[in-house]
Amino acid sequence: MVIAALSGPLPAACEPNVERAVVVLERMGFRVRRAPLLEVGRRHWWSAATPAEIANELNGLLRDPEVRAIIASDGGQTALGYLDLIDVEAIRADPKPILGYSDISLLHLVLYARAGLVGFHADMAVPGFGGHWQSAPAARRAELEKLYSRLLTGTAAIGALPVSPSWECWRPGRAEGRLIGGVINRIVLAQATRFALPLECFDGAVLFWEEMGGLASHVWSYLQVMRHSGILDRISGMVVGVPREISGLEPGASPTLSEMVLDVLGDRDIPVLGNVEFGHAGPNLPMPVGIRVGLDAQQRTLSLLEPAMGPRIPQGSPTR
């Protein structure tokens, strides 16, 4: 397993986070090393390196048979710069999961569309395993460590993800389909590229999304983009993550996140489960993009119905 700088740089203050993340991952039973670009002081503008340099290192990891998983150190604003430089044939020949959220959502969506790779919208090294993870209750950490280990090494379906009291039923109902999603602004950005998921990939899908920062009106606008593009007409269910630092969602403010979601969905009668712990709020429940899940919003359950490891062929995806 390799921790790699797939987007933003590593500030000196975050070096201890990487070291703590290594401890967590080793406790799960993995051998961990760092990729060369993950170095304090190395940066290019807002990135750890140029897009070409990051792609070159990522491609080397994808071709390395000893590397079985790649974990992003952090998010940022870089993945758009190298989507066209990734060695897709290396992924098809030896699929290995990439873990991360935020900017890394672009990699999950595009590589699922192009190669059927199941990426994990899951914790990263700096803000995740070395950050939020450290302040979680010991029982929760132990529960998640076991879950991550089973997902990354097991050959059986996990079944129901561990529920917490924060989960809310925003619209009752049941659905079963492919789990597709990520950070909502990255979903919209991915669909604006030539590597976008064909709309057929959303047929019957359970759409999951989360967001950090910006305005509540931005979230409403992203949902409207997905409505106009036809995505919301194709999905069978929706799972919404815990929002973080979104202006306009403070207690007493109007509208609430659930009100915005139901407003844009209109008369589309699909189940919606809200306030689930994945994304920037952390520590994360891992969400494997592309595997079949079962959703029961009223019972507040989300179940992984097949193993997460291995490639999937996206429905309706052309060879690229």
Examine the pLDDT at 231 and tell me if it is beyond 60.
Answer: yes
Q: Where are the beta strands (DSSP E) in 205-276?
A: 206-210, 237-241, 272-276
Q: What is the pLDDT of residue 195?
A: 94
Three-class SS state of 160:
strand
Cβ(158)–Cβ(150) under 8 Å?
Answer: yes
- Euclidean distance between the first and final Cα of the chain, in Å? 28
Give mean pLDDT, residues 96-108: 96
At 227, phi and psi to the nearest 5? -65, -50
Cβ(10)–Cβ(49) under 8 Å?
Answer: no
| 111-155: pLDDT as tens digits | 999 999 999 999 999 999 999 999 999 999 999 999 999 999 989
**pLDDT averaged over the chain?**
94
- Looking at domain 2-148, its CATH architecture is 3-Layer(aba) Sandwich (3.40)
CA dihedral (227, 101, 47, 133) positive or negative? positive
Is 209 exposed, middle or buried (CB count within 10 Å of its CB: 0-12, 13-18, 19+)?
buried
Q: Which two tokens stand for residue 291?
A: 């595997």
**pLDDT tier, 319 (very low <50, low <70, confident <90, very high otherwise):** very low
DSSP annotation of 130 reads I
Q: Which residues fall within 8 angstroms of residue 190, CB to CB, at 6 or more apart?
A: 105, 106, 109, 110, 182, 196, 197
Q: What is the pLDDT of residue 263?
A: 96
Examine the pLDDT at 165 and tell me if it is beyond 80.
Answer: yes
Tokens 């999961």 correspond to: 97
| 180-210: pLDDT as tens digits | 999 999 999 999 999 999 999 999 999 999 9
Q: For the domain made up of 157-304, give the CATH fold.
A: Glucose Oxidase; domain 1 (3.50.30)
Say if strands 120-121 and 237-241 run parallel, antiparallel, or are unpaired. Answer: unpaired
Examine the pLDDT at 20 and tell me if it is beyond 70.
Answer: yes
Q: Given strand 272-276, what is the order of strands in its sheet?
A: 159-160, 301-304, 292-296, 174-183, 206-210, 237-241, 272-276, 168-171
- The pTM of the full predicted model, rounded to 2 decimals, is 0.94
| 42-65: pLDDT as tens digits | 999 999 999 999 999 999 999 999
Tokens 């019972």 correspond to: 299
Residue type present at position 200:
E
Examine the pLDDT at 317 and tell me if it is beyond 90.
Answer: no
Domain ranges of the chain: 2-148, 157-304
Cβ(176)–Cβ(201) under 8 Å?
Answer: no
Examine the pLDDT at 261 and tell me if it is beyond 70.
Answer: yes
